């Protein structure tokens, strides 16, 4: 993936290319934004530019300003198998990045490059570093070896240690200024609202809403497993050493879990936007301020059952549920408790 292809992230790309052109690339960057996949694409593009054999343009310092996207290093970086670009992802069981993983990364970073002039370490979901792992990073972040760069990727940088964040140059990927919900999620929200409208605030009605949510998440996990497996090195390389295959398999499990958790947040946020509309309806606010103005009639009907205080409590419940899901609590239990507390 070349910088030239990242047309929606022109500001982030321009900042990195200015640093490359001046020969003043930072030793550690924190890439943040709403989607982890986009952060990985930007990290891949930078790693490819640093290791490309035939960059379309070089700086006076000899650094490539972009990648050709065709040479062997470019292809291997894109496939995640280039020896001097090391990726670290949260472990499957703990859903966290351990101190042993960080130590292995730092050991590799301190070795001389084997195939190029640069060593690149990429920490995916850096907000999932354990406290010990984050602290182990500090010295290297402050005094990295020459011709190495560390890229920390996070959709929730506020969850990271300030001592880690402060040692990194921050690049935030652009996002839309207005609230937007994926078309597929909009359809699901309409189905959820229709189910809520049919209910009578009984326990059975809330279990029907829970069933809607769990069905959606079950289908989502299947989709994530299919898509992530198809893009894994395991799907492209069959003749590899058993140890490498095992490592890729573990990384695939962790990648599936991380991507599922990210998309699960999107589902809950889409629901949260409607609960906000419901609260605004209890206050008599106009549809112009709503996310789902096309659901105005149904939303107002449900709002008549509630007070502004109870509608506001719904927002608190969904926020607490999202926070709870960041812990090791069982997903189904957390969602059941949250949905049963909603007043609809």
pLDDT, averaged in runs of 10, over the chain (344 residues): 77 89 90 86 92 87 86 88 90 80 91 85 92 91 88 90 92 64 86 90 88 94 90 79 82 82 87 92 84 91 93 91 83 93 90
Task: Report how far apart the first and last C-alpha atoms of the chain are (Å, whole number).
Answer: 47
pLDDT, residue 213, reads 95
pLDDT, residue 177, reads 45
pTM, 2 dp: 0.62
Q: How far apart are CA 320 and CA 307, in angstroms?
A: 20
97, two tokens? 């990045």
Give one DSSP letter per residue of 93-162, joined into a string.
Answer: TTSSB-HHHHHHHHHHHTSPPSSSS-EEEEETTGGGB-HHHHHHHHHHHHSPPTTEEEEEEES-GGGS-H
Q: Tokens 């200015």 — which residue? A: 18
Q: CB–CB of 146/117 below 8 Å?
A: no
pLDDT, residue 48, reads 92
> Which residues 6+ apart lie within 8 Å of 162 measured at CB?
none
Choose among 98, 124, 105: nearest CA to 44.
124
Q: CB–CB of 95/257 below 8 Å?
A: yes
Q: CB–CB of 192/271 below 8 Å?
A: yes
Choose among 270, 251, 249, 264: nearest CA to 190.
270
CA distances from 204 to 84, 188, 200, 209, 321 (A): 56, 20, 9, 9, 20
Domain ranges of the chain: 3-172, 183-341
CATH architecture of 3-172: 3-Layer(aba) Sandwich (3.40)
Size (the chain), residues:
344
């Amino acid at each position: 993936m070349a910088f030239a292809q990242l047309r929606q992230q022109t500001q982030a790309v321009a900042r990195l290319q200015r640093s490359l052109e001046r020969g003043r690339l930072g030793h550690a960057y924190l890439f943040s934004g709403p989607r982890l996949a986009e952060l990985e694409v930007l990290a891949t593009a930078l790693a490819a530019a640093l290791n490309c054999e035939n960059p379309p343009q070089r700086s006076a310092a000899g650094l490539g300003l972009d990648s050709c996207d065709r040479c062997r290093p470019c292809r291997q970086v894109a496939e995640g198998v280039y020896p001097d670009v090391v990726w670290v992802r949260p472990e499957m069981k703990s859903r966290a990045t351990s101190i042993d993983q960080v130590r292995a990364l730092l050991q590799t970073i301190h070795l001389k490059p084997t195939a190029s002039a640069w060593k690149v370490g990429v920490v995916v979901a850096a907000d999932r570093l354990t406290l010990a792992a984050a602290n182990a990073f500090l010295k290297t972040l402050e005094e990295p070896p020459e011709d190495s760069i560390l890229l920390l990727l996070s959709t929730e940088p506020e969850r990271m240690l300030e001592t880690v964040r402060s040692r990194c140059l921050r690049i935030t990927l652009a996002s839309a200024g207005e609230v937007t919900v994926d078309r597929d999620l909009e359809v699901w929200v309409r189905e959820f609202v229709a189910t809520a409208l049919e209910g009578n605030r009984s326990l059975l009605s809330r279990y029907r809403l829970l069933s809607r949510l769990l069905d959606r998440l079950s289908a989502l996990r299947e989709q994530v497993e299919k898509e992530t497996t198809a893009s894994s090195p395991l799907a492209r390389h069959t003749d590899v050493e058993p140890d490498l295959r095992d490592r890729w398999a573990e990384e695939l499990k962790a990648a599936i879990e991380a991507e599922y958790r990210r998309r699960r947040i999107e589902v809950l946020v889409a629901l949260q936007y409607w609960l906000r509309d419901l609260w605004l309806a209890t206050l008599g606010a106009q549809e112009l301020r709503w996310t789902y103005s096309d659901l105005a009639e149904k939303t107002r009907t449900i709002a008549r059952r509630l007070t502004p205080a109870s509608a506001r409590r719904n927002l608190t419940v969904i926020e607490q549920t999202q926070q709870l899901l960041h812990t090791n609590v069982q997903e189904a239990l957390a969602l059941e408790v949250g949905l049963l507390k909603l007043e609809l």
